[in-house]
Chains A and B, each alone.
Chain A
Amino acid sequence: MELDKKTLNKKSFGEVLPVIVFSVLLVLIIVVFRIMMPGFLQSSSVYSILRKIASISLAATGLTFIIIIGKVDMSFHLIGCSAGVCFCWLMVNVGIHPVIAVVLTLIYGGLWGVITGILVSKLKFPDIITSIAVGSIAYGSGYLFSNAAYIYLHQASEKAIAYARIATVPLPIWIMIVVLGICYWIMEKTEVGRKFYSVGANPKTAFLSGINVSRIIIIAFILGGVLVSFTGMFMNAEQGFGAVNTTLSILPQCYSAVFIGWAIFKKPCIHGTIFGASLTSIITLGMAQMSLPYYWGNLVNACILIIALMISLLKYNDREKMVPPEKSKKEEA
């Protein structure tokens, strides 16, 4: 069987199908919510949905970097907890200006990423367990800041990161657009992005072709820590007080977001993650606005995660069809 350029360039039906399916699903969900609740997607609730999407998509993008390089992170939500409390502590107890506090918190979140990254890349610790351990240390040190009490944010300037508006659009949405825009540009248009994907595909060949694999892994974990710190700050500022367990429950949602993106675009990528984050956030928020209990949102998210994983398997079968039969047999063995 000859593979001519036309077959290679032509996007197969299996490749386009998920994009169509998920777009239709997203529109369908919005329409259903709109019919059931006339108040859904009014100008005020659009911003609250976008706010939620900003929180989830930033954390999920951090996770995307780590999944792209073929590692798994179980610590990002715990780092987010710690960073959020650190942010409140810096402003209220230390009295630092909010802008500097934001910068310091991002550095703080990045430091946990540095620790995991060095342990996983240089010392070759297994990624899942190491991230759980580092995450638990981060979570424990969150209690050192808050002393196991709420840190209340009284002044408007302290909550500004969640509530300030630039041209009537809330600040988190601007931050999401700028940060994720930069991430998208790096991953899709620059050499660094190619390096991430090649490390994920095969670290050995990446190393042999002259990529500093350890550095890429450390950068990915740093980005994971920094981006989830944004989520921690948004969610704590939004609720008006700093608590250690604020971002504890975002883990399944972020994994759903990344894997939905993977299912749609056939690779873990930034735009896919944003799409996935929008889908899961709209479902969760829509169900919350219908005053359904929160756990139904969790259940639906878990089901979507499983469906997304199933659809991402379609890619595998699709590729197999394109490879000549003798070769695919060898690969199977």
Chain B
Amino acid sequence: MNKVLKTLFRAEFVLFYVLIFVFLVFCILAGPAFYSSFNITNILKASGPLAIMLYGVTWVVASGKTDVAFPEIGSLTSMTFAYIYLAGSSSVMAAIFGIGAGLAMGLVSAILVIKFKFHPLISTIAVSTAGGALAISISGGSAIKLAAIANKTFLYSLCRQQIGPFPMIFIIAIVIAAIMWFIQDKTKFGQYIYAIGDNPQAVKEAGVPTWKINLILYIVSALCAAFAGLVYTITVYTSGQPIMGTSFFLNGFTMVFLGALAIKLGKCNVIGTLISAIILSCLTNGLTQLGAHYSLTQLSKGILLLVGVGVVTFTRRKRIGRTGLLKYE
């Protein structure tokens, strides 16, 4: 019995308990409006694309780098898709071009980081600014409406479906998470990602072509963001959105770092990102239902992020230990 309790209350599962806690608190405060199956479907629907957008960034952060271009990749994909689709080509063609535009942005930041050895943050800031400007320039700042024709696309009809209370987009998110979890945990490539995060120099000296891995990471990151941008365009906005907004940026990093609390303590991972996407959607949905002030959502997200970072920092320090370190370190 004691052993069972010990395994149940391991630190690795803390995020699940946070999720359950947040859910229960809102169930009590907001009542049946919150835990009705309709609302739960809504929460999962919101968390699906959000999680997909951040899977790639999770890996980039796990390898010790940053990628802040993901909202702009999403919006560039969104605008390119909308523009080409409205110009009369098929939806598949438009989607290919849209994702291609997003991939191009990922490729540029990969080249800047790998070939020119810029600081990942600065180079992705530059790429995201340029990409955002391009996205706005397609329409001159206004959204491109697709309301009349978006529902003819395959993705739209796919995302409309539900299996029980689970919307299709959430199931897609779970499937992608499962595939990426397999890669990250069971293959050599996944081990390299975390090894680069711990000590890039050692990995390089061991003869691993780190530049190839970094390239793949940035491309996967761009691919995830572009796909999520496409999903948002077709199902949520039904229009091409030039500015995906600062909320994605903030939510994204909160999710990635909260996700580090789950499964692999102190290391960002895909499953953790999915769980924290659900937590954040619960939080936003519940606070909105309670009629809370907008600032409260923002504040609680910021505090959650700070707590997440704090726990990750302390556990990592505990794992590494203090032998051989100066007082300053």
Known: A124-B317, A295-B136. A133 touches B129 (CB 8 A): no
Interface flag for B3 (CB, 8 Å) = no
The answer to whether A143 touches B298 (Cβ under 8 A) is yes
Interface residues of A (CB under 8 A from B): 72, 74, 119, 123-126, 128-130, 132-137, 139-144, 148, 203-204, 207-208, 213-214, 248, 251-252, 255, 259, 293, 295-296, 298-299, 301-303, 305-306, 309-310, 313
Q: How far is the CB of A258 from chain B (nearest CB, A)?
A: 9
Distance in angstroms between the alpha carbons of A140 and B129 in the assembled complex = 23
Interface residues of B in 234-255 (CB under 8 A from A): 246, 250, 253-254
Known: A132-B253, A204-B328. A140 touches B302 (CB 8 A): yes
A207-B328, A309-B116 provided; 14 other pairs, C-beta below 8 A? A72-B121, A124-B313, A126-B309, A129-B253, A143-B294, A204-B328, A252-B129, A255-B122, A296-B133, A299-B129, A302-B127, A302-B133, A306-B123, A310-B116
Known: A137-B303, A296-B133, A305-B122. A129 touches B309 (CB 8 A): yes
Interface residues of B in 206-263 (CB under 8 A from A): 246, 250, 253-254, 257
Known: A139-B298, A295-B136. A259 touches B313 (CB 8 A): no
Q: List 24 A-B contacts (CB under 8 A).
A: A124-B317, A124-B329, A128-B121, A129-B253, A133-B305, A133-B309, A137-B303, A142-B295, A144-B293, A148-B294, A204-B329, A207-B326, A251-B125, A255-B122, A295-B132, A295-B137, A295-B141, A296-B133, A298-B130, A298-B133, A302-B127, A305-B126, A309-B112, A310-B116
Known: A72-B121, A130-B306, A132-B253. A302 touches B116 (CB 8 A): no
Interface flag for B80 (CB, 8 Å) = no
The answer to whether B313 touches A125 (Cβ under 8 A) is yes
The answer to whether A301 touches B129 (Cβ under 8 A) is yes
The answer to whether B302 touches A143 (Cβ under 8 A) is no
The answer to whether B302 touches A125 (Cβ under 8 A) is no
Known: A128-B121, A255-B122, A305-B126. A298 touches B132 (CB 8 A): yes
Distance in angstroms between the alpha carbons of A213 and B326 in the assembled complex = 12
Q: Find the A residue at minimum CB distance from B205.
A: A333
The answer to whether A125 touches B310 (Cβ under 8 A) is yes
Interface flag for B301 (CB, 8 Å) = yes
Q: Find the B residue at minimum CB distance from A130.
A: B309
Known: A293-B140, A295-B137, A303-B130. A255 touches B309 (CB 8 A): no
Known: A134-B306, A299-B130. A248 touches B246 (CB 8 A): yes
The answer to whether B302 touches A134 (Cβ under 8 A) is yes
In the complex, number of A-B residue pairs with CB atoms less than 8 Å apart:
130
Interface flag for B143 (CB, 8 Å) = no
Q: Which residues of A contact B125 (CB under 8 A)?
A: 251-252, 255, 305
Q: Which residues of A contact B130 (CB under 8 A)?
A: 298-299, 302-303, 306
Distance in angstroms between the alpha carbons of A180 and B298 in the assembled complex = 33
The answer to whether A125 touches B309 (Cβ under 8 A) is yes
Q: Which residues of B contact A251 (CB under 8 A)?
A: 125
Interface size on B, residues (CB 8 A): 47
Q: How far is the CB of A203 from chain B (nearest CB, A)?
A: 7
Q: Which residues of B contact A141 (CB under 8 A)?
A: 295, 299
Known: A128-B121, A203-B328, A296-B137. A133 touches B302 (CB 8 A): yes
Give B108-142 as 1s and 0s: 1 = Cβ < 8 Å from A's Cβ atoms.
Answer: 00001000111101110111011011101100110
Interface flag for B66 (CB, 8 Å) = yes
Distance in angstroms between the alpha carbons of A135 and B303 in the assembled complex = 11
Q: Find the A residue at minimum CB distance from B135.
A: A295
Q: How far is the CB of B176 from chain A (nearest CB, A)?
A: 24
Known: A133-B309, A252-B125. A213 touches B298 (CB 8 A): no
The answer to whether A126 touches B295 (Cβ under 8 A) is no
Q: Which residues of B contact A306 (CB under 8 A)?
A: 112, 123, 126, 130
Q: Find the B residue at minimum CB distance from A137.
A: B302
In the complex, which of the residues A139, A142, A214 has the most CB atoms of chain B within 10 Å of its own CB atom?
A: A139
Distance in angstroms between the alpha carbons of A310 and B116 in the assembled complex = 8
Known: A125-B313, A130-B306. A302 touches B326 (CB 8 A): no
Distance in angstroms between the alpha carbons of A72 and B326 in the assembled complex = 23
The answer to whether B121 touches A299 (Cβ under 8 A) is no
Contact of A137 among B253, B294, B306, B313 (CB under 8 A): B306
Q: How far is the CB of B136 from chain A (nearest CB, A)?
A: 4
Q: Which residues of A contact B68 (CB under 8 A)?
A: 74
Q: Which residues of A contact B328 (CB under 8 A)?
A: 203-204, 207, 213-214
The answer to whether B137 touches A293 (Cβ under 8 A) is yes
The answer to whether B137 touches A313 (Cβ under 8 A) is no
Distance in angstroms between the alpha carbons of A259 and B126 in the assembled complex = 11
The answer to whether A137 touches B299 (Cβ under 8 A) is yes
Q: Find the B residue at minimum CB distance from A303.
A: B130
